[in-house]
Structure 1
Amino acid sequence: MSVIADIAIVALLILGGGFALIGSWGLVRLPTTMERLHGPTKATTLGLGALLLASVIYFQTRLGVWTAHELLISLFLFITAPISANMIAKVHLHRARVGAIREDDGIAGAPPRPSEDGDWATFEAPRRNTPASTASD
């Protein structure tokens, strides 16, 4: 049983380290804010999850102790990373829309421009007589 646990721990450590490295590299190398969001929110989160799972297996097999610390860290990480990425993306889209920032097109090409109907989910003031509007005539 110890050999199987050792193989699982090593595999999770290599997998987690690889994901964390790729996510960190993407954070540094990608040119625009929207592209940079994917590194820490996707790859690095999965990498840290694998590292924490390896820690849980290690402490159970070596010391015979179940620890909840790693599971709580993983839960907190998996809950907060998407929410913070969503907030960063919304602020970036809002600032780009009002002209507060100007970024060159990234490696994915030019972003799609919103239509005059306001079909982007940004901080746009609702218009009168629309379903999202609370203002009335």
Structure 2
Amino acid sequence: MATMPQEVIDLFQDPTVPKMIATISRDGELNVTPKTSMQVVNSGTLAFADLYGLTTRTFKNLQETKKVAIVAMKVPLAPPFTTYQVKGTFLKYETSGSLYDNFAKALKDAMGVDITGVGTIHVDSVYSQAPQDKGKKIA
């Protein structure tokens, strides 16, 4: 398990930062989708709320291959750019419990929507995607 450095945790915890999740099917079909709800559970785990259920391409791919890459980026008008990629392994889909309850309340309060579940991701590695770092592995 990789441990996300504090600057990566801070970026993922920022609700204004765009986050994208990429998955791949067993047949090699790629899928990328925004996951603005992506949050840090602990230094080795990320989680995101799901609005649509296990029928989406994201969850079908996660169930088939368990492979995932997530990018979070803060790109101001001028450098420095703060961008990280986390590669990970899908852990589980939760439909109850404290993690689910926290996400459900937050999204209901913020957007007025109900969630169907929460996906959790084990952090395998972390890379800086800032231009000056050229994809350097940092964890």
Query: Structure 1-normalised TM-score?
Result: 0.22
Structure having the higher Rg = 1
Higher relative contact order (CA 8 A, sep 6+): 2
